[in-house]
Amino acid sequence: MSGDTVTQFEQAVLPHLDAAYTLARYLLRDEDEARDAVQDAYLRALTYFQGFRGGDGRAWILAIVRNTCHTRHQRSRTAPITTSFEDEQHTPEATDDSAISADAERIPVESVREAVEQLPWDFREVVILREVHGYSYKEIGQVVGVPVGTVMSRLSRARRRLRDTLAPELRRRMSA
């Protein structure tokens, strides 16, 4: 590997190390596993960097991190990766997101973090990519490898689950 290739890798991929760790930490729910996964992902990225066609280095490395975490998670089999479809649970209902957002500041960060970690894999990864990293729906679709409509659906369902999980604590805090 030439010095130019290493320099290009450093410029395109290394600035996203923190984002890679954050994603791995939320997906794997374990700091040591997350560090190992990020290290594995960066080694894979360096090995296959000649296949990188330019563009968004952040999306490229996070897709590798996501796939590495997914593989590790499948091997450990500690929790189901996918979510079964249940009509009652996935039926859309109207909500006032602005009121929820305003009240969300009253919930401790640790409670939100725990609620996110309880989400199924498919929901957790899109929430982290959107809410923590600020990715667009299109970018999330690229990282996760699903259509934009699927991203939107997963985000909607994840947010609903977070609301349902955090609502009792919010009511408790508002009445105190």
Residue 64 lies in a domain: yes
Is the pLDDT at 88 greater than 60? The verdict is no
CA distance 81 to 104: 27
Residue 111 lies in a domain: yes
Residue 147 lies in a domain: yes
Q: Which residues contact 35 (CB under 8 A, 6 or more apart)?
A: 21, 24
> Which of 76, 106, 134 lies at the terminal end of a domain, its last residue?
76
> Which of 44, 76, 108 lies at the terminal end of a domain, its last residue?
76
Residue 83 lies in a domain: no
- Are 105 and 165 part of one and the same domain? yes
pLDDT score at 4: 81
- Are 96 and 171 part of one and the same domain? yes
> Which of 51, 76, 101 lies at the terminal end of a domain, its last residue?
76
With a threshold of 0.85, does the pTM exceed it? no
- Are 98 and 149 part of one and the same domain? yes
Residue 98 lies in a domain: yes
121-154 pLDDT per residue, tens: 999 999 999 998 899 999 999 999 999 999 999 9
Output the domain CATH number for residue 37.
1.10.1740.10
- Are 99 and 66 part of one and the same domain? no
- Are 113 and 155 part of one and the same domain? yes
- Are 41 and 95 part of one and the same domain? no
Residue 19 lies in a domain: yes
Residue 108 lies in a domain: yes
Distance, CA of 163 to chain centre: 18
Distance, CA of 118 to chain centre: 13
100-121 pLDDT per residue, tens: 444 556 678 888 889 999 999 9
Please compute, for residue 13, the number of CA atoms within 13 A of its CA located in the half-sphere on the CB side.
27
Residue 81 lies in a domain: no
29 phi-psi bin (left φ>0, alpha ψ -120 to 50, beta other): left
Output the domain CATH number for residue 128.
1.10.10.10
**Total count of residues recorded for the chain:** 176
Residue 50 has what DSSP assignment?
Answer: G
- Are 99 and 161 part of one and the same domain? yes
Domain range spanning residue 114? 90-175
Tokens linked to 22: 């954050």
Question: Which has more confidence, 110 or 35?
Answer: 35
Total of domains in the chain? 2
Cβ pair 63, 143 in contact under 8 A: yes
Burial class (CB in 10 A: 0-12, 13-18, 19+), 116: buried
Cβ pair 64, 24 in contact under 8 A: no
